[in-house]
Amino acid sequence: MLAYTLKRVVVAFLILLVVSGLTFSLSHLSADPALTIAGEQASDEDIEAVRKLYGFDRPVIEQYVNWLSRALQGDFGKSYHYKAPVVEMISGRIGTTMTLGFLAIVFALVVSIPLGTLAAMRPNSLIDRFALLIAVFGQALPTFWFALMMIILFGVWFRWLPISGNTSWAHFVMPTIALGYYATPALMRLTRAGMIEVLSSDYIRTAKAKGLLPVSVLFKHALRNAIIPVVALAAVWFGFMLGGSIVIETIFNLKGIGWLSYDALLRSDLPVVQAIVLIFASFYVILTLLADLLNAYLDPRISVR
């Protein structure tokens, strides 16, 4: 288990290195940072001066190494626009994004696991069809459209929920549902498929032959095995939730790092963009790592490989 963990951690670091390198070079190819900093009206000499001052005339690889060595010490530079340290800008907002992502994935799991299990117990029954309907809608509706519909219905017509900001828990209700609903179909269908397969397996027959009651057959013997791939997928989806929060945060004006990244992209604020991309990438990598480790813990067969 220890060797397995170590191996996975090393791979995770390598992935992050590649991602950061790619973002850095791509963002430097797509925009001229000197122009951004100097401003639209700046003369060519001014731009050239800025380029020298910030070291943009150096080879990209050298700039990357510089950036990386400073990033490793926790210094991501200053925002070109706000002139504030990037680390401070992000740390002040990351809590909002994490809260939203966490609530969304919990919402998705709370809906999809029971629904998927019920659907699997009686394939083609009414409840199975209902679950399928929910899944089809979730897959077909664009997140932003669903979010806007909720705003119109619950925010504008009924006035039950606030539609903008993040000052109370009530502010998180609609964003959570909008974001979480997006993950529900995949998680639910996987729960259903896994459950159906597990329920017809030999060890479930053994569990019944022991005289165990349906509750323990279902929730101990079946769910534990059916849930293994769902856990892995949920971790990946949590990563999507954090990244996907760009749209939701912008719509609901929740000022997390999703909102910040949208803002920074519009302003070509490269240090902010690079830092956020690296953070999102780390989320993915760490979550996938955690999912693998959790899987190895839940399914004792995995760690032997």
Partner 1 sequence: MINKKEVVLEVKNLSIDIPVSQGILHPVDNINLHVERGEILCVVGESGCGKSLTSLAIMGLLPKNAQRTAETLELNKEDLQELTERQLADIRGNRMAMIFQEPMTSLNPSFTIENQLLEPLLRHKELSKDEARNQVIEMLELVGIKPAEPRLRQYPHQLSGGLRQRVMIAMSLLCNPDLIIADEPTTALDVTIQAQILELMMSLQEKFNTGILFITHDMGVVANIADRVAVMYAGQIVEEGPVSEIFDNPAHPYTRGLMGCIPVPGKLGQDNTLGTIPGMVPSVVNDFQSCRFGGRWDENYKENFEPCRLTEVPKKRRSFKVNLNEKHLVHFCCDECLHLSEHTLVEGSS
Q: How far is CA 242 from the centre of its chain?
A: 3
Q: Does 63 interact with partner 1 (rule: CB under 8 A)?
A: no
Contacting residue, 96, 225, 250, 268, with partner 1 by CB under 8 A: 225
Q: Does 203 interact with partner 1 (rule: CB under 8 A)?
A: yes
The residue among 70 and 224 lying less far from partner 1, judged by its C-beta, is: 224
Q: DSSP for 115-170, please give it.
A: HHHHHHHSTTSHHHHHHHHHHHHHHHS-HHHHHHHHIIIIIIIS--S--S--SSTH
Contacting residue, 83, 159, 301, 305, with partner 1 by CB under 8 A: 301
Q: Which stretch binds partner 1 (CB under 8 A): 7-15, 95-103, 205-213, 266-274?
A: 205-213
Q: Does 211 interact with partner 1 (rule: CB under 8 A)?
A: yes
Q: Please tell me the distance from the alpha carbon of residue 258 to that of residue 240, in angstroms, as a whole number.
A: 12
DSSP-based helix, strand, coil % in the chain, nearest 5 = 80, 0, 20
Residue with tokens 């170590």: 6
The residue among 145 and 203 lying less far from partner 1, judged by its C-beta, is: 203
Q: Does 1 interact with partner 1 (rule: CB under 8 A)?
A: no
CA atoms within 13 A of residue 224's CA, in its CB half-sphere: 13
Phi-psi region of 204 (alpha: psi -120 to 50; beta: other; left: phi over 0): alpha
Q: Please tell me the distance from the alpha carbon of residue 68 to that of residue 11, in angstroms, as a whole number.
A: 18
The residue among 177 and 218 lying less far from partner 1, judged by its C-beta, is: 218
Q: In the complex, what is the shortest distance from the CB of residue 238 to partner 1, in angstroms, rounded to a whole number? A: 23
The residue among 137 and 203 lying less far from partner 1, judged by its C-beta, is: 203
Q: Does 215 interact with partner 1 (rule: CB under 8 A)?
A: no
The residue among 59 and 300 lying less far from partner 1, judged by its C-beta, is: 300
Contacting residue, 201, 267, 286, 295, with partner 1 by CB under 8 A: 201
Structure tokens at 267: 């302003």
Q: Please tell me the distance from the alpha carbon of residue 60 to that of residue 284, in angstroms, as a whole number.
A: 26
Q: Which stretch binds partner 1 (CB under 8 A): 19-27, 58-66, 171-179, 210-218?
A: 210-218
3 state SS of 85: strand
Q: Which stretch binds partner 1 (CB under 8 A): 105-113, 133-141, 204-212, 276-284?
A: 204-212
Contacting residue, 207, 230, 231, 260, with partner 1 by CB under 8 A: 207
Q: Which stretch binds partner 1 (CB under 8 A): 106-114, 129-137, 230-238, 297-305?
A: 297-305
Is 174:147 a contact under the CB 8 Å cutoff? Answer: yes
Secondary element (H or E) of residue 111: helix 94-121
Structure tokens at 305: 């490989």
Q: In the complex, what is the shortest distance from the CB of residue 3 to partner 1, in angstroms, rounded to a whole number? A: 17
Q: Please tell me the distance from the alpha carbon of residue 243 to that of residue 235, in angstroms, as a whole number.
A: 13
The angle formed by the CA atoms of residues 286, 288 and 291, to the nearest 5 degrees, is 110
The residue among 143 and 303 lying less far from partner 1, judged by its C-beta, is: 303
Contacting residue, 72, 209, 266, 305, with partner 1 by CB under 8 A: 209
Q: Does 197 interact with partner 1 (rule: CB under 8 A)?
A: no
Q: Does 224 interact with partner 1 (rule: CB under 8 A)?
A: yes
User: Considering CB under 8 A, how many residues would be counted as binding partner 1?
Assistant: 22
Give the residues across from 78 on adjacent strands.
Answer: 85
Residues that bind partner 1 (CB under 8 A): 201-203, 205-213, 216, 221, 224-225, 228, 298-301, 304
